[in-house]
Chain A
Amino acid sequence: AQKVTQAQTEISVVEKEDVTLDCVYETRDTTYYLFWYKQPPSGELVFLIRRNSFDEQNEISGRYSWNFQKSTSSFNFTITASQVVDSAVYFCALSPGYSSASKIIFGSGTRLSIRP
């Protein structure tokens, strides 16, 4: 079964705090992609990162960082020094396999609110 679990439905923090969004996935495939997307109130999906299953190296991009651990099937996302503009719904997603027909399976999303 393919599944993505985001246990945190909503998170609210004060600006400048660090916040971590959790993501746990399930798949029997040995090759797969993991993603994080941001969805602001306007609705469009903003791509943040893609990781393939063979690349467990953590990644940092500005205030964003990702921790991929295959041993725990987790792909967590941390925002450092959060800002009000980070307020959005964040989706973790999984795409099993590398073919062009591989679909993306989304987690239920975490609504992040950053208070000034």
Chain B
Amino acid sequence: GAVVSQHPSWVICKSGTSVKIECRSLDFQATTMFWYRQFPKQSLMLMATSNEGSKATYEQGVEKDKFLINHASLTLSTLTVTSAHPEDSSFYICSARDNGVQDGYTFGSGTRLTVV
């Protein structure tokens, strides 16, 4: 079945540094990928929709200059958290739309970001 590989699975970084998270579709092409953020004991909140070859669409309240999204190919989308602060510590999950799978969406395994 379709697989979305997300790396790293966890990362600890110092406040003020930037962190890049990769989301890769392994056996299918994804023109659209989605990035979610989940704080402890909360739901998954959509941050942005990543479109291959064009600018990402950000949800209201998400700072596009802080959360840089690049979708340079049909199999790779990256999320860069710039100048990370402790309040950015969260669980980040990507998802890709794939009509070849039963649910139509395939999720990465998530990245747990801790900013110290």
A residues with a Cβ closer than 8 A to B are 33, 35, 43-45, 47, 49-50, 91, 95, 100-109, 111
Chain A residues near B5 (CB-CB < 8 A) = none
Q: Is the CB of A50 within 8 A of B97?
A: no
Shortest Cβ distance from A28 into chain B, in angstroms?
Answer: 18
Complex Cα spacing A107 to B44, Å: 8
Nearest neighbor of B46 in chain A, beta-carbon distance: A103
Q: Is the CB of B49 within 8 A of A108?
A: no
Residue of B32, B44, B105 near A91 (CB, 8 A) is: B44
Per-position contact with A for B99-116: 1 when CB-CB < 8 Å, else 0? 100111101011010000
B residues with a Cβ closer than 8 A to A are 31-32, 34, 36, 41-46, 49, 51, 91, 93, 95, 97, 99, 102-105, 107, 109-110, 112
Q: Is the CB of B110 within 8 A of A104?
A: no
Which secondary structure characterizes the binding site on chain B? strand
Q: Is the CB of A101 within 8 A of B109?
A: no
Q: Is the CB of B99 within 8 A of A100?
A: yes
Q: Is the CB of A43 within 8 A of B31?
A: no
Complex Cα spacing A109 to B42, Å: 8
Chain A residues near B97 (CB-CB < 8 A) = 100-102
Known interface pairs A103-B46, A108-B42; A44-B104 also in contact (CB < 8 Å): no
Residue of A44, A49, A105, A107 near B46 (CB, 8 A) is: A105
Q: Is the CB of B93 within 8 A of A45?
A: yes
Chain A residues near B103 (CB-CB < 8 A) = 35, 47, 49-50
Known interface pairs A103-B46, A108-B42; A44-B105 also in contact (CB < 8 Å): no
